[in-house]
Amino acid sequence: MDRPWLAQYPAGIPAEIDVHALASLKDVLASTCARFADLPAYDSMGTVMTFRQLDEASRAFAAWLQKGARLQRGDRVALMMPNLLQYTGGTTGVAKGAMLSHGNMVGNVLQVAAWIGHDMKDGAETLVIPLPLYHVFALTGALSFFSRGTQTVLIPNPRDMPAFIKALKASHLSAIIGVNTLFRALLDAPGFAEVDLSRLKLAVAGGMAVQRVVAQRWKQVTGVPLVEGYGLTEIALRGPQVMKGYWNRPEETAQVFTADGWLRTGDMGVMDERGSFHLTDRKKDMIVVSGFKVFPNEIEEVLTMHPGVLEAAVIGVADERAGEAVKAVVVRKDPALTEADLLAHCKQHLTGYKVPRFVEFRSEPLPKTNLGKILRRELRGAAPAAAASPAPAHAA
């Protein structure tokens, strides 16, 4: 199989990793804590824990599980042994438990650690994670940076923006991971301009599509590009980090895996001649207007380019004439923004059939997961299309 994307790798990034370098996450923990023992591993709300202290606390907890709780090998405790259950976000339906082996996790940690090694120095960096660690993006990021001796600053409540900004000012961060909505909130937050970003080397967004206007603003303000991380997209994947299947859901597991082990991710995208992948949207969120495929991400990006828009989401609604029609749900940044202004903006950047047929303005923030990803499925079930204003007809 040709792998044209390898030609785009920066110098020093290996084409492959040794998936047998570490046998389990226990080996990751033990080797990292021994190597960076007296360096700070985690900082949360002013409390710092070194790698040595983390190792000692982990061993003490393991001893209690064995001696105090009298657990036996194979007993299930929160995280399931020997596999982990990593639940999907549930943004398009019911959350499913993806079965991840230690081999999956170690493979992914080694992959990410190899990639960030191009820019990050072992034992000398500070990562800020303002995401819940039960999400696979945050968990993988935390473990990968951890394996290189990085100090990780945990932000328990990123919605408390003043406290978040205070923590950033004290952190002297060199890396940060987050989601599109969080990076936008930081850019709009009072006090962010006062954060010292002179050591910042890497900013990674995942969990949802990064909007162009957010990426452009981030680069302009910080001088560091906002890298878009990718976990799944009907681009099919196969590799050491791919899950074993869905917990107790054999039929759904069979639907997403091919006979030879490729995972159908459910995202739509294309690969160009350089091996770069361009992701359009989730297959389940695609809207079909008179036979034309419309991807919400594209329209949402255009909507959020308007200076009067704070946030926006696009969904499909039933339409007698076209089968489905595009509906935009918008939260204003400028109270004076009108539907006519917004549609005029869309018509400048979108083909006719992609311009929203219905527009709904909301005064409350859009529904989101705990990670900050907008829940389109909740918007689809919230109200019928008739509740929104039908935009003037336009030619396709």
Q: What is the mean pLDDT of residues 113-119?
A: 85
**pLDDT, position 17:** 85
> Residue 360: which of 320, 326, 324 has the closest Cα?
326
The residues of the chain that CATH labels 3.30.300.30 are 286-390
Rounded CA separation 323/89 (Å): 28
> 315: how many CB neighbours lie within 10 A of its CB?
24
Instruction: Out of 2.130.10.10, 3.40.50.970, 3.30.300.30, 3.40.50.1970, select the CATH number for domain 286-390.
Output: 3.30.300.30
pLDDT in tens, 266-322: 666 666 667 676 665 566 788 888 767 788 888 999 999 999 999 999 999 988 777
Q: Yes or no: say if 111 and 102 are a contact pair by the CB < 8 Å rule.
A: no
Q: Would the pLDDT of 83 be above 60?
A: no
Distance, CA of 280 to chain centre? 15
Dihedral sign for Cα atoms in the order 343, 345, 348, 350: negative
Q: Would the pLDDT of 82 be above 50?
A: no
Q: Would the pLDDT of 109 be above 60?
A: yes
**pLDDT, position 369:** 83
pLDDT in tens, 50-68: 999 999 999 998 898 888 8
Rounded CA separation 321/153 (Å): 53
Rounded CA separation 266/315 (Å): 17
The residues of the chain that CATH labels 3.40.50.12780 are 4-156
Rounded CA separation 266/230 (Å): 13
**pLDDT, position 193:** 94
Greater confidence (138 vs 331) lies with 331
Rounded CA separation 310/300 (Å): 11
* 4-156: CATH class: alpha beta
pLDDT band at 84 (very low <50, low <70, confident <90, very high): low
As a whole number, the mean pLDDT across the chain is 85
Rounded CA separation 286/264 (Å): 16
Strand partners for 312: 330
DSSP symbols for 77-114 = BSBPSSSEEEE---SSSS--EEEE-HHHHHHHHHHHHH
pLDDT in tens, 125-148: 999 999 888 778 888 899 999 999
Q: Would the pLDDT of 325 be above 50?
A: yes
pLDDT in tens, 224-266: 999 987 655 476 777 887 888 888 888 888 878 887 778 877 6
Percent of the chain with pLDDT over 90: 43
Q: What is the mean pLDDT of residues 57-84?
A: 78
Tokens of 215: 């990426």
For residue 250, is the peptide bond before it cis, meaning its omega torsion is within 30 degrees of 0?
A: no
pLDDT band at 181 (very low <50, low <70, confident <90, very high): confident
Most confident of 72-81, 161-170, 316-325: 161-170
SS3 per residue for 157-210: CCCCHHHHHHHHHHHCCCEEEECHHHHHHHHHCCCHHHCCCCCCCEEEECCCCC
> 182: how many CB neighbours lie within 10 A of its CB?
22
Q: Yes or no: say if 153 and 180 are a contact pair by the CB < 8 Å rule.
A: no
Strand partners for 328: 314, 359
